């Protein structure tokens, strides 16, 4: 993703990449040169990076996933002094999907079961994807459920009938799949599917840069791509 962001930045006249940080590099050596830091790394690095950005007053775009709830809460406390766009997915299409899933859940009501399937490349380290987690949270909120209690990750054995307040989340890993998410709404007699498939990481890179250009002028706070797109 870092390479994709660097390549996409070349097509924007108002965006300049002033520093590149990889494993083993020190971001403090380039932090003074930038207006905003874009983070696509690993969840164990985010905390120290947000501490640096907060101390230097730099805006952030966070696309890293895999944080535990405890890690997420710690990071939220640290980033209070700066504007941050934190999203599990920076694709414009996926964020429209978030909006559509919320409205569809509200319209269809409790009679429809909801199952989420995500597909990614074999190298992805966390499961389910951050996007699938967000989709499950969107569905749970729209249904008035606690996502921590409602979500089931796969099923095996004699599990009995599916309860109406359950949200199934299933992860597939194979080959070089960039990313695909399916939200299935099913009831007796019909089903409806909302699907998004990415064919290139460029879509995520362009979304992250769109967020970076947007967040630099915003007051301190935690935003999502729905804010960037005006869908909140």
Catalytic residues: 120, 124
SS3 32: helix
Please name which of 33, 74, 40, 73 lies closest in space to residue 56, comparing C-alpha atoms. 33
Whether residue 40 contacts residue 208, with contact meaning beta carbons closer than 8 Å, is answered with yes
Burial class from Cβ neighbours inside 10 Å (0-12, 13-18, 19+) for residue 108 reads: middle
Distance in angstroms (rounded) separating the CA atoms of residues 74 and 150: 24
Whether residue 118 contacts residue 129, with contact meaning beta carbons closer than 8 Å, is answered with yes
Planar angle of CA 50, 53, 59, nearest 5 degrees: 100
Distance in angstroms (rounded) separating the CA atoms of residues 226 and 186: 26
Q: Number of helices (H) and strands (E), helices first, in the chain?
A: 8, 9
Distance in angstroms (rounded) separating the CA atoms of residues 56 and 40: 19
SS3 21: coil
Please name which of 80, 33, 18 lies closest in space to residue 55, comparing C-alpha atoms. 80
Whether residue 196 contacts residue 93, with contact meaning beta carbons closer than 8 Å, is answered with yes
């Amino acid at each position: 993703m870092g390479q994709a962001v660097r390549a996409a930045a070349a097509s924007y006249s108002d965006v300049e990449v002033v520093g590149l940080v990889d494993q083993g590099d020190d971001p403090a050596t380039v932090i003074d040169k930038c207006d905003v830091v874009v983070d696509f790394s690993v969840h164990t690095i985010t905390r120290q990076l947000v501490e640096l950005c907060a101390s230097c007053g730099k805006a952030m775009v966070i696309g890293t996933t895999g944080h535990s709830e405890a890690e997420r809460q710690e990071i939220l406390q640290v980033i209070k002094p700066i504007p941050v766009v934190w999203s599990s997915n920076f694709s414009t299409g996926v964020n429209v999907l978030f909006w559509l899933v919320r409205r569809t859940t509200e319209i269809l009501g409790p009679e429809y079961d909801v199952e989420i399937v995500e597909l990614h490349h074999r190298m992805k380290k966390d499961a389910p994807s951050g996007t699938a987690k967000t989709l499950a949270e969107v569905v749970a909120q729209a249904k008035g459920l606690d996502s921590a209690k409602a979500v089931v990750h796969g099923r095996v054995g004699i599990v009995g009938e599916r309860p109406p307040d359950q949200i199934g989340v299933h992860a597939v890993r194979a080959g070089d799949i960039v990313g695909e998410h399916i939200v299935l709404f099913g009831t007796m007699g019909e089903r409806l599917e909302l699907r998004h498939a990415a064919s290139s990481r460029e879509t995520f890179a362009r979304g992250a840069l769109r967020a970076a250009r947007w967040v630099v002028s915003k007051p301190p706070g935690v935003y999502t791509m729905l804010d960037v797109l005006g869908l909140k």
